[in-house]
Structure 1
């Protein structure tokens, strides 16, 4: 394929330009604040500090660029962008401290204490806001990478469905190449050729990324030759391993005998990290019970005056390793809800029973459900050790009785008040999608993932989307 003139998409260049301007502004503001905090009045000795304050924005942007934090592949996804900004902060702070020690001056003291840490914090905050803005544009269909999927039809269809559900990834499949080529569409995306036609299809579809899925025909030799042909047009090449739900710190690339082998660690479902998670859950839930006690009392009063029946709804659920426990929630339905259930038909074809407009739900209960306020009493379950703040959805015994071997893996950890299912669509999710998200959580659990889910839960609850 002849080499074509390569140009980055306009949205990539625009996003990078905004990041550079924002980083420069954050460092300028931090340097100015550090200068005025250190010097309340002008003296003859402030010249070095003026120079340092003026140089900090340039040094800051150059350091971030040298650390490759402006690369297009980092835009809008994953923690690496933020990690590289943190690395720059640590490196500059260390350089200033060492320089001050070697030269026997205190010129770096104000910057070690204030300027560089403040620049790092402001940059991280602004980068987060830029990412949120980018995700909103992607939700409307803009700022997307054009992807050609390479692999078998089933794998390509699954990739298309996932990227359509999670548009914040910024990838849109515009063409598919399958082993034998031709044939009908794959999940509404045209099949444009076979495995040998990938470079031509990339030009035809004006794509900037090729995603190679698990495919026996694409062995090491074929993949290497494809990479050589794609590098002429600077087309990104990503390879999806067969372990679709295992990611993050559990996977590392280890070169063995000249081969890059993907090493997969076992999930840490016991040990010190789980003890830390348990302490975090119980201390956090206890603190929330104390802080939210006025709200809990107000909600209890609202449920009590809304109609006859108890304030709290108690139900048997299944927890870790299949142990049953009693879950607590604010009552949101009429007292004879279970008897009326047999006359209703679920909107979901899977194990779950759910109805978008359930006639058994009271007006107060509908509001509580929309904002997940009915689940606040589950903080008691977290304190008692039955549940976690974050985890899979707590299932009913009759649901567990219908689980297959794969689905039972959800029971290896404590169920949670919130989880990936809560921040990814809640009741709008199908049974299969809920299971997939719960299994992804079990396979990739970490305390950082818990914190990210808790952060996203606030916006999901405020929107009220998918709750009924």
Structure 2
């Protein structure tokens, strides 16, 4: 339905990429002899500067095939510039790694400087020609292709959600004409409601509608069959938005279950690519810091054993992604049997404060560990096991989850984290029952860069020891 660019432009882009990659490879080979003056590299073996002809065919084909695999040429998936350029970046990085591996196993004498120059220059040129072509394409697109007219059947909450979503795509050649609704109040008070649902055929013909979106409440589904039948002989595409979004914990998504298309009302907030990137990032960070982290953990464990005795670790059941229970690990910072000593207080609204300053159950060593979040280090084991992520909403106590309202459960739509948006905006200074809104902000605005930002902020906040007790 919505395309950022046409199939013809996608075909043009594919052949343009083949040409650009081939041209950059030839230019890189031609300029290679002049790079020695600027590259202080000692050549132990003579470089092969004249590339075999087969590489002029193999390099562009491999690169473009990977771009096809990453949907760079799919105008429906790349509705935003950032989506297309992200796909281009990932495919180019993988192309560089793949081609480097092929060169290592075959033409090992090819100049490494030449190859590096080629990969970087090709990636930049693929970006640059798109930045130049986009304004030209949109100018031609507006002049040549007709705008698609959209009509929405249903001016209720679901219909307004569709209107809001479509508004960000109006620049893609779409125009919302109006709504259809049987509610007399909406017909009389809302100017964009053009008529009743039964008048759909007349309005579709009169307004030259290209796409009709049915966004009716469940109680009005008896109109759907008659509405679709009345439009079968007209050149209009009919789309149905099931009115089940209010039942979804985070978002509804069409998926295949046992070979049948079904609506997943508890679809994961992260795409498979996002989930993969998040998991790889977790493992890479832990891999880099695993030795110093476990050295610190060994020192902390020894200190607890000397000053407070056993047990060293505190284990507790927590609710993770999708509410699944798992065992969370922490260094023990309280006296033995602290869970049976009731000292919890309540705020002015009657909400229980599970963390408070001056808690008599916390040991002197425990206060130091909590101040600098050293008690949280064993949760790296939870991250390695896949129960948690480095960044995400904090895993909650099951007894608190039982009292959650439905909207609060959206925080479990992604992996729970060692640190998160709440930790950099208050830590223990903000009561547990107020975490949810900030957790939902993270869920709805997740990105790899947000994870990096949170980790960097967490480092400095932990050093200050602010809001931890």
Instruction: Give the TM-score taking structure 1 as reference length.
Output: 0.42
